[in-house]
Structure 1
């Protein structure tokens, strides 16, 4: 998981946007905006 929204660095377009979108569909790599979203993506096993 990559913690942090890549859009804060500027708009993503073209191949970068495609890569982020495809990564977010999978389970091995995803971009999440914050820790709350990270916890939601990881599910109950991530309870602290």
Structure 2
């Protein structure tokens, strides 16, 4: 692998730090927004 390719891979890794906790937070956001879509009164109270 050339150095430029290695650098690109490293910078991409830094942009997307998909640790389990980050993924879990994203799943929470998705599931709560799905809940809000099904239950509009939950959002607009």
**Fold conserved (TM > 0.5)?**
no
Structure with more of its chain in strand, by fraction: 1
What's the TM-score once normalised by structure 2's chain length?
Answer: 0.31
Q: Larger relative CO (CA 8 A, sep 6+): 1 or 2? A: 1
Structure with more of its chain in helix, by fraction: 2
